[in-house]
Amino acid sequence: MKIAVPVMDESLKMAGNAGHTPYFAVFNLTGGMFKSFTLEGLRTNPKAAGEDHHDHDEHHTCDHDAGDVEHIKAHDTMADTIEDCDYLVVKMACKNTAKSMNNVGVKLQKYNGTEALAPKILTELAAQFK
């Protein structure tokens, strides 16, 4: 199983907004009752190319509707980047991110905790990945 986490950089600090993250850290999940996560690598988020890479917080909203074809296409391109993943862990994801991920079969897993680093977040959420 593969799980993507939106991160700011190689430090693996989770980004607050999945749609504006500069990178996705992709982890492989192994094990049954005792799960372990191995970092496969970082993938650049094409939707965020050219953006200022500050951390958009969870309160940033996406008010683009289905009529904004270019914006929707950007979300779809982002989803294509991690379409081989089973889950995307999110603090926040707009309706367009959710729809694009659903279209490629990636499930969203909400994270409400306070941990900052992706490996520790995955350990907290381990029981949710089935």
Q: What is the pLDDT along the chain (130 residues), one digit of tens a residue?
A: 999 999 999 999 999 999 889 999 999 999 988 899 999 999 999 988 765 544 445 454 555 555 656 766 887 899 999 999 999 999 998 888 999 999 999 999 999 999 999 999 999 999 999 8
pLDDT the model gives residue 8: 97
Q: How far from 45 is each of 5, 6, 67, 98, 109, CA to CA, in Å? A: 11, 9, 23, 15, 18
Rg (CA), the chain: 14
pTM: 0.86
pLDDT the model gives residue 87: 99
β-strand 107-110 against 87-90: which pairing, if any?
Answer: parallel
In the chain, the domains with their CATH numbers are 2-50+84-128 (3.30.420.130)
